[in-house]
Amino acid sequence: MPVGTAASVKGIPQDTLEELGAQIILGNTYHLYLRPGVETVRKMGGLHGFMSWDRAILTDSGGFQVFSLSELRKLNEDGVTFRSHLDGSSHFFSPESAMAAQIGLGADIIMAFDECTEYPAERARVRESMELTARWAARSKDYFEEHKQEVPWGQASGVGRQEKQLPHHCFAPVRNDNDLRDSGRSTDRWATDGHRLAPGSTQSLFGIVQGGMDRELRKESAERTVEIGFPGYAIGGLSVGEPREATREMVEWTVEHLPANRPRYVMGVGTPEEIVEYASLGVDMMDCVLPTRAARHGLLFTSEGKISIKQARYAQDAGPLDPNCPCRVCQRYSRAYLRHLYASNEVLAQVLNTIHNLSFYLDTMQRVRHAISLGEESRFLSSVWSRPQT
Amino acid sequence: MPVGTAASVKGIPQDTLEELGAQIILGNTYHLYLRPGVETVRKMGGLHGFMSWDRAILTDSGGFQVFSLSELRKLNEDGVTFRSHLDGSSHFFSPESAMAAQIGLGADIIMAFDECTEYPAERARVRESMELTARWAARSKDYFEEHKQEVPWGQASGVGRQEKQLPHHCFAPVRNDNDLRDSGRSTDRWATDGHRLAPGSTQSLFGIVQGGMDRELRKESAERTVEIGFPGYAIGGLSVGEPREATREMVEWTVEHLPANRPRYVMGVGTPEEIVEYASLGVDMMDCVLPTRAARHGLLFTSEGKISIKQARYAQDAGPLDPNCPCRVCQRYSRAYLRHLYASNEVLAQVLNTIHNLSFYLDTMQRVRHAISLGEESRFLSSVWSRPQT
């Protein structure tokens, strides 16, 4: 899942994401809660209407970013008081308020409010944190069940609902309806949006497993989360500084304690090799800022290994970034041009680099799905590992 | 002509420029000379190959930016010594070296090396400067005629030459030709590039009229430039701080002293109203950073007047930016979303705002051409002036 923190995958128009084949993107509740605010998004019909994106969206609970970004956070059984990283204003997130925010944002999949346990941590601290997450999961579910009908689906207004009638790469004909902004509350505009149109349809709330790097606590957390019961399960508290082998061990261990007939989601991973590996362990969903953030720093993933496009060796390299990549960047531009854009601080560097990295990630997962459908996971996995990585 | 200073219209992929209907873009010789350097661009087949843009390109002479951007410039009859704004290194531009640079960059239209007279200036100073420009114009043409066959057309290599066989919005099939970067020198890749393929085809060198805000000197400059003889003529030295009425007067006056059967180009203008007005005076070409630069500052041109999208009044405005605009931004996104992107410093704000402003400008000129073809310049002009402008 490409990460679109503030209702935008940085630098990439939504039609480009569609062309890249993104089926679902992620938004960050903490950021959206602070700016533009839940009420604004709710009034626009939720994130789908606000950002004009009809495919799936997942929002995180806000918990992870409250812990990592905000100043002066204070945690107790009830929830977390924190200060905005934007203006220092004081706010409070609890399982209930985090659910209210995510219902207002209206993503398809929302996440229980959890505490992301720091690494490293003493076992007693990990247990205490894991148990808090379990209690918060139950409160998250309780609040969600009581309020899930408040999701603002069907209230979309304004622009872009006609867009689906045309291929996105075509210019729509000129229209002249000055009234558009004042009307447009009819739900029939959502006619092709799938489940969001169905009467009484609601979001899916996923639970989150914590438990640090402790097998026993991971198992207990998984069991307690499954006991509460969710339509999907995430493995949180990884990619927090632990060795990669520990991540892998926890993923492999925890996945086995989650129902195989529910989506299993590892939060915040990983490299192309890692997402292939975790998929082979039974993971269905992953999100990571790596492809988009690395792109902004000129680090590009290719079938021949990683490339740091800022290097002078590419200054007169007329070849494509990745000769095996079908993306619009590799089909049109040379390494020399991409290197020039990066060296000149041109915004187009970020745009094109991000398009390529997302294409590489999404194509990787496409190939994983294909391999799974052929029953060839292990062979595919070994072919990935044999790739040269610089 | 959208401005693509460093071989990129800031933030906009080339396929988007094509969809917007841009027929020609402008590159800045001063910037490209400093970075990535003329030799790099030449080796990629000129700007067309370097930036993968097969439509027309115009480069300025570098003179204007040497005068406005560089430190410690020293001018004499021979040329200008200046220091790079990037690293302080010392460089020299003369009519001959500016032509050599522009031949190496390989744009379709290149400009004589001129001195852009400052404003305000004493009449004697304006005359002296205008006469220097006239002598430099003759030297520019002499050098160009001797060296014009050195244009690197037909040397394009690498990526994107196959692109034309497919619509740009489609993904090309995966290819696996690792040899691409090492081969690709065949001129047949330029087969659909029009005049650039014709044997012996060369660039078009345009002359530049100076003369400050003085009618007599403008007339003399025009006559001397026409006497040297160029396939097109530019009016330079405007938009340098003079009152708008002076700009208009100089355009109207100077255009009448330039041949109507040659392209007449006013450099560095203007607002949407101004470009319509100048077109009605007989101007064929204009370039301006205004649509792209204003977009980056959240200032958007619409059929209902200018909009500063950062204003809080748009925070929950579900309507399109411009209800009369067919661009992909107005067809898909709300003012509320655009306002959020700008307020959140999202790069997508710049991308979408620029797409809209360029669309507005290019559509404006499209309507101008249509009005001219119908012989309705004056009626169209008056309808433009009656628009509400905030």
pLDDT digit of tens for each residue in chain B (390 aa)? 999 999 999 999 999 999 999 999 999 999 999 999 999 999 999 999 999 999 999 999 998 888 887 767 899 999 999 999 999 999 999 999 999 999 999 999 999 999 999 999 999 999 999 999 999 999 999 999 999 999 999 765 567 544 433 333 322 222 333 333 333 333 333 334 556 877 789 999 999 999 999 999 999 999 999 999 999 999 999 999 999 999 999 999 999 999 999 999 999 999 999 999 999 999 999 999 999 999 999 999 999 999 999 999 999 999 999 999 999 999 999 999 999 999 999 999 999 999 999 999 999 999 999 998 888 666 666 565 445 444
pLDDT, residue B162, reads 43
Determine what percent of chain B falls in helix, strand and coil, rounding each to the nearest 5.
45, 15, 40
Q: Any chain A CB within 8 A of the CB of B207? A: no
Coil, helix or strand at residue A371: helix
For B34, name the nearest residue in chain A, comparing CA atoms only: A344
Cβ <8 Å between B44 and A11? no
Candidate from A13, A326, A348 with C-beta closest to B10: A348
Chain A closest-CA separation from residue B288 CA (Å): 18
Residue A240 has pLDDT above 50, yes or no: yes
* Average pLDDT of span A56-82: 89
Residue of B12, B54, B344, B352 best to disrupt the A interface, most CBs of A under 10 A: B344
B244 shares contact with chain A (CB less than 8 Å): no
Residue A206 belongs to what H/E stretch? Answer: strand A204-209
Q: How far apart are CA B174 and CA B379, in angstroms?
A: 52
Report in angstroms the alpha-carbon separations of A40 from A36, A105, A183, B158, B336: 6, 9, 17, 47, 8
Å between A210 CA and nearest CA of chain B = 32
Measured between beta carbons, the chain B residues lying within 8 angstroms of A11 are 11, 346-348, 351
Report whether pLDDT(A342) > 50: yes
DSSP helix/strand/coil, B140: helix
Residue in A60, A108, A322, A363 annotated catalytic: A60
Report the complex ipTM.
0.90
* The pLDDT value given to residue A188: 34
Spell out where chain B has E strands.
24-27, 56-59, 71-75, 80-83, 90-93, 109-111, 204-209, 233-235, 264-266, 285-286, 299-302, 305-308
pLDDT at A15 over 50: yes
Catalytic positions of B: 60, 287
Q: What six digits make up the tokens of B55?
A: 């439509």
B352 touches A: beta carbon within 8 Å: yes
Q: How confident is the model at residue A5 (pLDDT cuts 50, 70, 90)?
A: very high
Q: What is the DSSP string of A150-164?
A: G--TT---SSSGGGG
Read off the tokens for B358.
């360029």
B323 interaction partners in chain A (CB closer than 8 Å): 175-178, 180-181
Output the DSSP codes for B216-275: HHHHHHHHHHHHH--SSEEE-S-SSS--HHHHHHHHHHHHTTS-TTS-EEETT---HHHH
- Judged by a CB distance cut-off of 8 A, whether residue A386 touches chain B is no
Strand, coil or helix: what is B156?
A: coil
Contact B44 A336 (CB under 8 A): yes
Instruction: Determine the angle formed by the axes of helices A377-385 and A347-374, rounding to 10 degrees.
Output: 140
- What local confidence, expressed as pLDDT, does residue B154 receive? 77
Q: What is the largest CA-CA distance in chain A?
A: 65
DSSP conformational letter for A179:
G
Q: In the prediction, which pLDDT does A32 show?
A: 98
Q: Identify the active-site residue in A108, A287, A322, A363.
A: A287
Whole-number pLDDT of residue A178: 37
Its pTM stands at 0.90
Paired residues of B266 in beta bridges: B235, B286
Contact state of A36 with B336 under an 8 Å Cβ cutoff: yes
Residues of B in contact with A326 (CB under 8 A): 171-174
Smallest Cβ–Cβ distance between B52 and the set A8, A13, A337 belongs to: A337
Write down the pLDDT at residue B160: 57
Beta sheet of A233-235, edge-to-edge order? A24-27, A56-59, A109-111, A204-209, A233-235, A264-266, A285-286
By the 8 A CB rule, do B223 and B211 touch?
Answer: no
Q: Which residues of chain B does A180 touch, with a Cβ-Cβ cutoff of 8 Å?
A: 319-320, 323
| Rounded CA separation B102/B57 (Å) | 11
| pLDDT(A278) > 60 | yes
Sign of CA pseudo-dihedral B302, B306, B310, B314: negative
Beta strands A90-93; A80-83: pairing state: antiparallel
Q: Which chain A residues touch B332 with a CB distance below 8 Å?
A: 14-15, 52, 159-160, 163
Q: Give the Cα separation of B14 and B50 in Å (integer).
A: 12
Contact A211, A116 (CB under 8 A): no
Q: What is each CA distance from A378 to A95, A260, A304, A365, A374, in whole angstroms?
A: 40, 18, 20, 15, 11
Task: List the single residue in B6, B163, B319 with the smallest CB-CB distance to A180.
Answer: B319
Contact B332 A163 (CB under 8 A): yes
**Beta bridge mates, B234:** B208, B265
Longest dimension (CA), chain B: 65
Lowest mean pLDDT among A175-179, A240-244, A301-305: A175-179
Query: Residue B195: what residue type?
Result: H
Tell me how crowded residue B306 is: count the other CB atoms within 10 A of its CB.
14
Strands B305-308 and A204-209, bridge-based pairing: unpaired
* Amino acid code (one letter) for B279: A
Pick among A41, A345, A351 to test the B interface (most B CBs inside 10 A):
A351
| Cα B229 to Cα B232: distance, rounded to the nearest angstrom | 9
Q: Is B343 on the interface with A (CB under 8 A)?
A: yes
pLDDT confidence bin for A200, thresholds 50/70/90: confident
Q: Which among B42, B38, B12 is positioned nearest to B25, based on CA atoms?
A: B12
Q: Using a CB-CB distance cutoff of 8 angstroms, which residues of chain B are in contact with residue A292?
A: none
Q: Render pLDDT for A220-233 as a digit per residue (tens, 0 to 9).
A: 999 999 999 999 99
Minimal Cα distance from B18: which residue of A? A169
Contacting B residues, span 306-335, partner chain A, CB-CB under 8 Å:
315-320, 323-328, 330-335
pLDDT digits (tens, 9 = 90+) for A295-325: 999 999 999 999 999 999 999 999 999 999 9
A158, B13: Cβ pair inside 8 Å? no
| C-alpha–C-alpha distance, residues B103 and B101, integer Å | 5
pLDDT of residue A192: 40
Q: What are φ and ψ of residue B75, in 5° steps?
A: -110, 135
Residue A340 in contact with partner chain B when CB distance is under 8 A: yes
Consecutive H or E run containing B177: none
Interface size A-B, in CB pairs within 8 Å, comes to: 225
Count of CB atoms within 10 A of residue A193's CB? 19
pLDDT on residue A388: 46
> B301: closest CA among B281, B322, B315, B323?
B322
Facing B163 at nearest CB: one of A174, A332, A343: A332
Contact state of B10 with A163 under an 8 Å Cβ cutoff: no
Q: Is the per-residue pLDDT at A182 higher than 50?
A: no
Q: Of B215, B242, B210, B219, nearest to B129 (Cα)?
A: B210
- From B203, B179, B161, select the one nearest B44 (Cα to Cα): B161
Q: Could you give the CA distance from residue B348 to residue B332 in angstroms, rounded to a whole number?
A: 14
Query: Coil, helix or strand for A266?
Result: strand
pLDDT at A390: 41
Confidence of residue A163 (pLDDT cuts 50, 70, 90): very low
Contact yes or no for A175 and B323 at CB 8 A: yes
Within 13 Å of residue A377, how many CA atoms lie on the same side as its CB? 12
